[in-house]
Amino acid sequence: MSTSITIPNEYGYVLLTAYLSTLVGYWHLPNTGRFRKAAKVPYPNAYATPEQAKESKAHYLFNCAQRSHATFLEHQPQFLTTLLISGLKFPLFSSAMGVLWCTGRFIYAKGYTDPNQEQGKGRMTGTKIFYIGTLGLLGSAFLSAVSFTGLGDRVMGLVK
């Protein structure tokens, strides 16, 4: 048995969304660098020490910016995988979920480094937003993948 994959005309939106996630990733670089410079944390130190972060708001905010960047990097591979798989069957939905994810990641980073939010709680709004995108992509990527096995019609009847 062989399966043909036809790329939908709207798949370009999926690719633009993948590109948008790359821009969000690149945005993290100067954002984190700005906080590093303010805290005067030299390279190659990845973070300020817990003692420094406790005593200095600049050090604390640098750690928040660095952690925000790290969580972006931790999540982006799974995001791209589900986006690209889902987009084969649901390109517009996938793109919408991906834009939601990218928006949530940006709000997460801005909130995490908000000096008026204690313990990084400003990130929670962004967390809620990007997880909606994540869950949408997880479900639609599963349905898309199942449709290529031939089980979609026989087992679920949901995806053609």
Q: What is the pLDDT of residue 47?
A: 95
Instruction: Walk along the chain (160 residues) and give the pLDDT tens digit of each residue.
Output: 576 788 999 999 999 999 999 999 999 999 999 999 999 999 999 999 999 999 999 999 999 999 999 999 999 999 999 999 999 999 999 999 999 999 999 999 999 998 887 877 888 999 999 999 999 999 999 999 988 887 766 655 555 5
Q: What share of the chain is helix, strand, coil (3-state, %, to 5)?
A: 75, 0, 25
Identity at 153, one-letter amino acid code? D
Q: What is the pLDDT of residue 105?
A: 97
Q: Which residue has the tokens 């996938």?
A: 94
> How large is the C-alpha radius of gyration of the chain?
19
Q: What is the pLDDT of residue 153?
A: 62
Q: What is the pLDDT of residue 90?
A: 97
Q: Which of 84, 98, 100 is nearest to 7 (CA)?
A: 84
Enter the pTM of the model.
0.89
- Please say whether the beta carbons of 144 and 90 come within 8 A: yes
- Is the backbone peptide bond immediately before 30 cis, with ω within 30 degrees of 0? no
Tokens encoding 91: 């390109």
- Please say whether the beta carbons of 83 and 16 come within 8 A: no
d(CA 75, CA 126): 14
Tell me how crowded residue 133 is: count the other CB atoms within 10 A of its CB. Answer: 24
